[in-house]
Amino acid sequence: MAKIDFGGVVEDVTTSDEFPLDKAREVLKKETIAVLGYGVQGPAQALNLRDNGIDVIVGQLEGDEYWEKAINDGFVPGETLFPLEEAAKRGTIIMELLSDAGQVATWPKIKQCLNEGDALFFSHGFSIVYKDQTGVIPPENIDVILVAPKGSGRSVRQNFLAGSGINSSWAVFQDHTGRATERTLALGIAIGSGYLFPTNFEKEVFSDLTGERGVLMGALAGVMEAQYNVLRANGHSPSEAFNETVEELTQSLIRLVDENGMDWMFSNCSATAQRGALDWAPKFREAVKPVFDELYKSVASGKETQRVLDINSAQDYKQKLDKELEAIRDSEMWKAGAAVRSLRPERRGK
């Protein structure tokens, strides 16, 4: 592991320099990796493993849309694509990449497929940390491990194909074989991680649920909508309001942040923009801090996970979700966004 200074705090991280792909292949050469679930993370991790020369099979509900997607991606029924339980029986490392609600629903059957010395792999600490709600309690004679990519499945695959990789956290919850750590790091490298940083299951799920509901998705959507509505209420056109709220952020400023950090972005903007950002950032920080405190407490208490399980397990979940997403898509703000995106040169064939 390499020691890296993160703003005065030294952390251990693992890259392909410390744990090269050849070493990962050696660690995993006698393993059969069974990826359960071909929805969000499943395709990216399975395809990256396969492209890296790892023995991987997929488990999915036979005949559904994700089963067909796996076939289209080159997995062969009866050879590298199986029903969930069959895949779990064949695997020595079982990667639980079903949805959180899906893991709960299938756990009683999957548990029966585990053999002594197997590894049960997660990309999210949800099922293990909230075991009182999920009922997911692994047997003591297996390894229980985690690699959590810090991005969507789509990003995991795109970054892999681009040769960069995506950062991931890793953790060992249970080490029965004495090989849990090397198995975990090998899988982290093999699924295409840019670098791996250590955590534990609880910290992973607390940070992940807070991030998704906060800056990464929930807060971002809410703040964008608030600014757009204020601009519209003060007479600005949809095009102007959307460009000043979303387009400039996604097409310009966030790329500067990605390149070299927030100070770099500030230094590459006008003096007027710099001054305004520096003056107003503390106001926004103080305004939203109580919301984040409330959010973290809700995550830690299990309130958020119970809501996820209750809603996502309902028979009409998909229909209600579609309506919620449709309401966002049909709002003026995101209709304006569709129009703005259609005017980008690459969309117009120029």
Read out DSSP for 267-297? HTS-HHHHHHHHHHHHHHHHHHHHHHHHHHH
The question of whether 124 is a catalytic residue gets the answer: yes
Q: What is the pLDDT of residue 107?
A: 97
| Options 3.30.460.10, 3.40.50.720, 3.40.190.10, 3.65.10.10; CATH of 2-199 | 3.40.50.720
Q: What is the pLDDT of residue 1?
A: 73
Decide: residue 43, CB within 10 A, 0-12 exposed, 13-18 middle, 19+ buried: buried
- Do residues 171 and 198 touch, judged by C-beta distance below 8 A? yes
Helix, strand, coil shares, percent, the chain, to 5? 55, 15, 30
Each residue's pLDDT expressed in tens, for the chain with a length of 350 residues: 788 888 888 888 999 999 999 999 999 999 999 999 999 899 999 999 999 999 999 999 998 999 999 999 999 999 999 999 999 999 999 999 999 989 999 999 999 999 999 999 999 999 999 999 999 999 999 999 999 999 899 999 999 999 988 999 999 999 999 999 999 999 999 999 989 999 999 999 999 999 999 999 999 999 999 999 999 999 999 999 999 999 999 999 999 998 999 999 999 999 999 999 999 999 999 999 999 999 999 999 999 999 999 998 888 988 999 999 999 999 999 999 999 999 987 765 65
- Secondary structure letter of residue 10 according to DSSP: E
If phi > 0 it is left, if psi is from -120 to 50 it is alpha, else beta; for residue 207 that is: alpha
For 46, 218, 325, the CA distances from 57, given in Å and listed in that order, are: 8, 34, 33
Provide CATH 3.40.50.720 ranges for the chain: 2-199
* Of residues 216, 212, 219, 209, the one with CA closest to residue 290: 219
| Residues paired with 57 in a beta bridge | 34
Structure-token pair, residue 98: 């079903």
- Secondary structure letter of residue 77 according to DSSP: B
- Do residues 121 and 332 touch, judged by C-beta distance below 8 A? no
N-terminal to C-terminal alpha carbon distance within the chain: 47
d(C-alpha 2, C-alpha 166), whole Å:
17
Which residue of the set 50, 124, 183, 232 is catalytic?
124
* Of residues 290, 281, 283, the one with CA closest to residue 262: 281
d(C-alpha 15, C-alpha 195), whole Å:
5
Quickly list DSSP for 112-178: TT--TT-EEEESSSHHHHTHHHH-----TTSEEEEEEESS-HHHHHHHHHHT--EEEEEEEEE-SSS
Q: What is the pLDDT of residue 103?
A: 94
Q: What is the pLDDT of residue 10?
A: 86
d(C-alpha 70, C-alpha 90), whole Å:
18
What pTM value is reported for the model? 0.91
d(C-alpha 280, C-alpha 315), whole Å:
45
